[in-house]
A and B are shown apart, each in its own frame.
Chain A
């Protein structure tokens, strides 16, 4: 089974701090994704990556950056945390294929609170 591991289940940080959220997958997947999930808004894509050192902006990239130095690891960075970034953050990975699309597999999320 695919395993996507997010480093923290719960995290509390202060406004203005630089925050790192880490995600590791063990299935050699090329694609990795960061979402945030908020009540009434559903899952929204922040950033994604199709390969090492490659990144693409999603729908809501403002205030975030990402790093992908190794294939199995994808980090989300909040440059200067603000209270409106309090949310559930979900990481996902999927295999890249030339034909039919493969599903994304998700971690269990990091619930981040910014005080």
Chain B
């Protein structure tokens, strides 16, 4: 069965304390892996797309990487404004996205 699992469910960091979020997947025919950020009461906001193992993308304090079985979202020196829920989703050939349940990140000053 196709599945996307994110860990941890929740993560609390101090400002400046770097860490990583994990997204592991078991799908055949992966067409792309997407990372989104979701703030409370808002829709998901697109961050990155990764297409093949070894690919990396960066945006400000965020860096996403992809292997054949998982993706990591690395957060370097986070700030309180990075607090949000981060969602991972994969796209199979010919189908819509399969979402993980998300990791809720809280960064305190």
The answer on A and B forming one complex is yes
How long is the Cα–Cα vector from A92 to B32 in the complex, in angstroms?
Answer: 17
Interface of B, secondary structure class, is strand
Check A101–B31 contact: CB distance below 8 A. Answer: yes
Who on chain A is nearest to B47 by CB? A103
Interface segment out of the listed A12-20, A38-46, A61-69, A71-79? A38-46
Check B49–A101 contact: CB distance below 8 A. Answer: yes
Check A90–B100 contact: CB distance below 8 A. Answer: no
Interface size on A, residues (CB 8 A): 22
Who on chain A is nearest to B39 by CB? A108
Fill in one digit per residue for B20-58: 1 if any A CB lies within 8 Å of its CB, else 0.
Answer: 000000000001101010000111111001010000000
Distance from A64 Cβ to chain B, minimum over Cβ atoms (Å): 15
Q: Which of B44, B51, B96 contacts A58 (CB 8 A)?
A: B96
Give the interface residue-count category, chain B: 20 to 34
B79 at the interface (CB under 8 A from A): no
Check B101–A41 contact: CB distance below 8 A. Answer: yes
Distance from A94 Cβ to chain B, minimum over Cβ atoms (Å): 9
Quick one: given A33-B96, A100-B32, A101-B91, are A106 and B44 in contact (CB under 8 Å)?
Answer: yes
Distance from A54 Cβ to chain B, minimum over Cβ atoms (Å): 14
Q: Which of B45, B87, B97: most chain A CB closer than 10 A?
A: B97
Q: Which of B31, B41, B51, B96 contacts A48 (CB 8 A)?
A: B96
How long is the Cα–Cα vector from A106 to B31 in the complex, in angstroms?
Answer: 20
Complex contacts, A43 vs chain B, CB 8 Å: 44, 87, 89, 99
Q: Which of A40, A58, A105, A108 contacts B41 (CB 8 A)?
A: A108
Q: B residues engaging A (CB < 8 A)?
A: 31-32, 34, 36, 41-46, 49, 51, 87, 89, 91, 96-97, 99-102
Further pairs besides A42-B100, A108-B43: 8, Cβ < 8 Å: A42-B99, A45-B97, A48-B96, A58-B96, A101-B32, A106-B45, A107-B43, A108-B41
In the A-B complex, list the 4 residue pairs whose CB atoms are closest, starting with the nearest: A106-B43, A42-B101, A43-B99, A103-B46
10 sample A-B contacts, Cβ–Cβ < 8 Å, listed by A number: A42-B102, A45-B97, A100-B32, A100-B51, A101-B91, A103-B49, A104-B46, A105-B46, A106-B44, A109-B43
